[in-house]
């Protein structure tokens, strides 16, 4: 999620790259979240993501790779925000 937030900040769509503060800002304000989504440009969006990569020696490792998605696909990924907020709430309750 933090790589996706970094891409949103690079596009001047949101100001936070911290997943926790992003969740606090947009958790109870769906209209504000929708307004933020509307500011995403109508073009291909580049961001980084962890992926399993096969190395030349046939071993697999996790690496950070650049990903480029169409706006609709990217927004689908960003709209998984509700699941992320539920995850943050569970972790916060667990460690209190």
**pLDDT per residue over 11-34, tens digit each?**
888 888 888 788 788 777 878 888
Burial 74-83 (b: 16+ CB within 10 A, else e): beeebeebee
- Delimit the domains of the chain by residue range: 2-94
| Cα–Cα distance list, 93 to 41, 83, 89 (Å) | 36, 16, 6
Tens-digit pLDDT profile for residues 22-66: 878 877 787 888 888 888 888 888 999 999 999 999 999 999 999
């Amino acid at each position: 999620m933090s790589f996706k937030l970094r891409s949103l900040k690079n596009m001047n769509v949101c100001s936070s790259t911290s997943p926790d503060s992003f969740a606090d800002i947009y958790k109870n304000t769906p209209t504000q979240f929708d307004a933020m989504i509307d500011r995403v440009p109508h073009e291909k969006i580049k961001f980084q993501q962890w992926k399993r990569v096969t190395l030349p020696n046939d071993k697999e490792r996790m690496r950070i790779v650049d990903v480029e998605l169409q706006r609709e696909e990217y927004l689908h990924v960003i709209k998984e925000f509700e699941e992320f907020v539920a995850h943050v709430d569970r972790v916060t309750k667990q460690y209190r």
